[in-house]
Each structure stands twice: as C-alpha cells, then as structure tokens.
Amino acid sequence: MLNSDKPNNLPRHIAVIMDGNGRWATSKGLSRSKGHRAGAENAQKLVEYSKKLGIKYLTLFTFSSENWKRPKSEVDDLIRLLRYYLRKETSEFHKSGAKLNIIGDLSKLPKDVVDMINNAMDLTKDNNDIIVTVALSYGGRQDITNAVKNIAEDLRVNKINEIDEDLVGSYMMTGDTPDPDLLIRTGAETRISNFLLWQLAYSEIYFCDVLWPDFNSLNLDKAIEFYAAKQRRFGGLPNLQENK
C-alpha cells in the first residue's frame, strides 16, 4: 500500500475499464460466468482500497451498451450476478459510507433489477466517504447523444439560452461528478471502448496487461505512481517558473 511515499497529487477521480474477466476464466478452465463473478469480487476490493487511499470518486465500466450483443446466456449470467450483488451487498455498501451512482440505459434491464438499483442509490445518496459510479448498459456516444437531445429540448422551451463546454458537461450522465484524472484499463487492450468519451478529454491513461480479476492493490499503486509522475497541462505549457 502507498505509505510515506504516497504521492501528494493523488487522483481525485479514477475511472476503470475492468477488462479480462472472460479470458481469466478461460485460462483457468472455468466458465465465463465464474470470471465475471471473480471480477465483481475484485471490484469490491478495489472500492475498499481506494477509499483507504482517499480516492473520492471511482467510476467502474461494468457493462457497455454494445455488450448486449453477447450470447444471451452470458448476458443472463451478468444480470443474475448484478441482481445477487444488489440484494446481498447494498446494506454493507451503505454501512461503509459509500455512495452508489449507476449510469447508462437502464430501460433494457428487468424491472426488479431497476427497482433494486433505485433503492440502492436512494439508500446511499447521503454518503460521501467515496462516490462509486457504475457504468451499466453505458456508451459514451449514447451519453453525448442524450445530452444533445436534452439540450435541444431545453433550448426549445427557453430553459437555457447559451451553450458552452460547462453546460454540455452538466448534461452528461456524470454531470455532478468531476472528470476523471486517471483512466485505468486492464487486460492488455489499448483502447477506451466508447467509455466516457467527453469526460476523458484530459485524463491520464494507464494501460495494464493484468486481467481484471488479478488486478490488485499493488497494481493500483503503480497506476497512481504513473499518474503522480505526470505534469498535467490541459493543453497549456508547463509552468515557466519551474524551468528557471
């Protein structure tokens, strides 16, 4: 765990593409559903460790809008897993002081799952030790498209009269959350897969070969150290005083 060497510029918001559950399971001769279960258990560990470090916001990409194209049996397994964790872990999540947000197109989910999601978000809405956002049935293009539609409607009814970047950002599904400082993708792939396309404009990106179920606290420490070594300029020049 990061200790006396803990970087002063700890990322306030970490986003994670948790990739590699299926490959992890296949490599061990297990079903893909067991890989997804192992990945869910690891996500719980990541939340707890991030909270200990002082990370304020954690956003996890669990199921993309494109993942509905996967075999029905795998999608059904994922829904059952989601239902299981919502039923079993919501109370403990609340007791830990974590707030849960879930973003994405929830209209495709079974009604009982949507009800459990809404109940979990309502139960934890006043918690602030760590804010955990789960991107579920989510796509970045979908997010931007919905924002454009909502902005157009509010323009039509004169609710707004001027558009700038701050306003557009406020219409994203993460509108009440600061943009990620650091994006981590596990599983050796080097793309962002339609995740938070607007929000990741100036995020540092850390690609890791480790498959998600094996991604542990030491791997997170390395990602944070990678971030801490960066000089974030947001398109500007470095501080000239630093070069004198």
A 10 A CB-CB count for 225 gives 14
| 3-class secondary structure, 13 | strand
Asked whether the beta carbons of 167 and 151 are under 8 A apart, the reply is: yes
Question: Using CA atoms, how far apart are residues 24 and 214, in angstroms rounded to an integer?
Answer: 8
| Amino acid letter for position 85 | Y
Instruction: Considering the candidates 5, 9, 21, 67, report the single residue annotated as catalytic.
Output: 67
DSSP secondary structure letters along 66-117: GGGGS-HHHHHHHHHHHHHHHHHHHHHHHHTTEEEEEES-GGGS-HHHHHHH
Distance CA 108, CA 63 (A): 12
With 0-12 / 13-18 / 19 or more C-beta atoms within 10 angstroms meaning exposed / middle / buried, residue 46 is: buried
Q: Which of 8, 19, 118, 150 is catalytic?
A: 19
Known active-site residue 67: yes
Catalytic residue numbers read 19, 67
